[in-house]
Chain A
Amino acid sequence: MSIDLSFYNWELFTNYILKGLLFSIQLTVIATVGGIVFGTFLALMRLSGKPALVYPATFYINTMRSIPLVMVILWFFLLMPLLIGRPIGADLSATITFIAFEAAFFSEIVRAGIQSVPRGQAYAAQALGMTYGQNMRLVVLPQAFRNMIPVFMTQTIILFQDTSLVYAIGAYDLLKGFEIAGKNYGRPIETYVLAAATYWVICFSLSKVVRKIQMKVAIIR
């Protein structure tokens, strides 16, 4: 048994892989942005000190963190049509799921980031007469986010790897692209190797970038 990759050409790439790759990237970007936005709100709820906000946010975060992502994907795929009343596609379902799921993980990063800002900063902003919203928007969050950038990116790499789990509901992502190409060309073994190599190159180079940024942020601090 030997591996022959000669069948892998530009035509195969544009016909099968590109569509999946673009969906995986799109899913990663939307889930990162959406997850950070919702995650920030969740983190602010948890840090608000008001029980009516703290408990629902804590419950949501802990629930999401204790369920396997595959099950969350299946849950949303099952429940979404029941709630909306009409079937939705695997792509849209996956997107909503990843935003909701990643929000829980990003919120923990944001919370740690906010807590890493010295208290004196928030006190100083209060002393200047800023409201809570101004305090967060102008003083605390800008500093917190700067500290969080490397952790955000690490989470994004994990998120990119996790997008392969949309396999469970049959969405067409990078892995699916390779799998279908493998079936159509009768080369399943080679396409799995190629899929692994593609994911590895993307994730490895991103992690190198993160390490560079980490050093830069560390110097500024």
Chain B
Amino acid sequence: MALDMGVFCKSTLDGDAVDHCFSALFGLGQNADPSYLDWLMKAWGWTLAVAGLGLAIALVLGAVMGTLRTLPNAGRSSRVLIRLSTAWVELFRNIPILVQVFLWYHVIPAFVLPLKALPSYWLVSIALGFFTSARIAEQVRAGIQSLPTGQNAAAIALGLTTAQSYRYVILPMALRIIIPPLTSESMNLIKNSSVAFAVSVPELTLFAMQAQEETSHGVEIYLAVTALYALTAFAVNRVMAAIEKRSRIPGFIASTNDAGAH
């Protein structure tokens, strides 16, 4: 079975070959038909948009919820916050992502009317972000709890308030420690963004399903889509590795792996 990658240079309208493969994308031929390559690139853009927005939501909420779970168990307000964050994690990690996407798309806008005005990819991003935030919160909690207790004790001895000790002592350490698990959660989020097909966001998976049916060149279409997913995940991996390297604390944890120099 030979692969026919030429399918990507065919028009999505009539199936004939187009003059410029990248026509619509780079504006080469203003009036040319869009090719499957154009469609693929647009779909990739949707995947990046959904995953990027979801990742931003997940990181912020995950950091907040994970921090709240480790609050010192003193006073009514901190107990309420601990309960709230625990409930958050248990709620969002025990429901499949696809079901959560349906909840955000079909159910919640029926009760929270302003959400109806949001485009559907926002709703998918929120679903992805909340789902992943529960997992990131667990990583943040584990990171904070892995710090030597002396760190917190020293912060208290210096007269820092709870908020200050988190801001200046605990979080700067903990957030650096958890970069490797955060990397894999980010890559999971990109992979999970494929569920957006179920609510008709025109991203890579939906492109794969529709173009496969239209062209009957399923193998070529799937290969390209799979490669783009792998490429995206790999790029995130490299970016996170660079961040990890830059934010390394000298003389602490993984930094000893760096032989000599600076």
Q: Which residues in A have some Cβ–Cβ distance to B below 8 Å?
A: 1, 66-71, 74-75, 78-79, 82, 157, 161-162, 164-165, 167-168, 175, 188-189, 192-193, 195-196, 199-200, 203-204, 207
Contacts and interface: CB of A to CB of B under 8 A. Distances in A.
A165 B195 contact: yes
Interface of B: 1, 90-91, 94-100, 102-103, 106-107, 110-111, 187, 190-195, 197-198, 205, 208-209, 212, 218-219, 222, 225-226, 229-230, 233-234
A165 B98 contact: yes
Given A78-B219, A200-B95, 9 more contacts: A66-B191, A68-B193, A69-B191, A70-B205, A71-B208, A161-B95, A168-B197, A168-B209, A193-B107
Classify the interface of chain B: helix, strand, loop or mixed: helix
Interface majority SS (helix, strand, loop, mixed), chain A: helix
A6 B8 CA distance: 51
Contacts of B98: 164-165, 167, 175
B194 A68 contact: yes
B213 to A, nearest CB: 11
26 contacts: A66-B187, A68-B190, A68-B192, A68-B193, A71-B229, A74-B205, A75-B226, A164-B96, A164-B98, A164-B99, A167-B198, A168-B198, A175-B98, A188-B106, A189-B106, A189-B107, A192-B106, A192-B107, A193-B103, A193-B107, A196-B95, A200-B91, A200-B95, A203-B94, A204-B90, A207-B94
A203 B97 CA distance: 13
B222 A200 contact: no
A163 B93 CA distance: 15
A71 B97 CA distance: 15
A196 B96 CA distance: 8
Contact of B99 (A70, A74, A188, A196): A196
A200 B87 CA distance: 12
Contacts of B197: 70, 168
Contact of A70 (B103, B194, B219): B194
Contacts of A157: 94
A175 B198 CA distance: 12
A29 B198 CA distance: 25
A108 to B, nearest CB: 11
A67 B192 CA distance: 10
A193 B219 CA distance: 37
A1 B111 contact: yes
B96 A75 contact: no
A217 to B, nearest CB: 19
A175 B95 CA distance: 11
Contacts of B219: 78-79
Contacts of A168: 197-198, 205, 209
Given A67-B191, A70-B194, A165-B195, A199 B95 contact: yes
Contact of A189 (B110, B225, B229): B110
Contacts of A175: 96, 98-99
Contacts of B230: 66-67
A133 B91 CA distance: 44
Contacts of A207: 94
B109 to A, nearest CB: 10
Contacts of B103: 192-193, 196
B69 to A, nearest CB: 15
Contact of A162 (B96, B218, B226, B229): B96
Contact of A78 (B94, B111, B192, B222): B222
Contact of B222 (A1, A74, A199): A74
B205 A192 contact: no
Contacts of B195: 70, 165
Given A66-B230, A71-B194, A203 B95 contact: yes
Nearest to B90: A204
A82 B193 CA distance: 28
Contact of A204 (B94, B97, B190): B94
A200 B208 contact: no
Contacts of A204: 90, 94
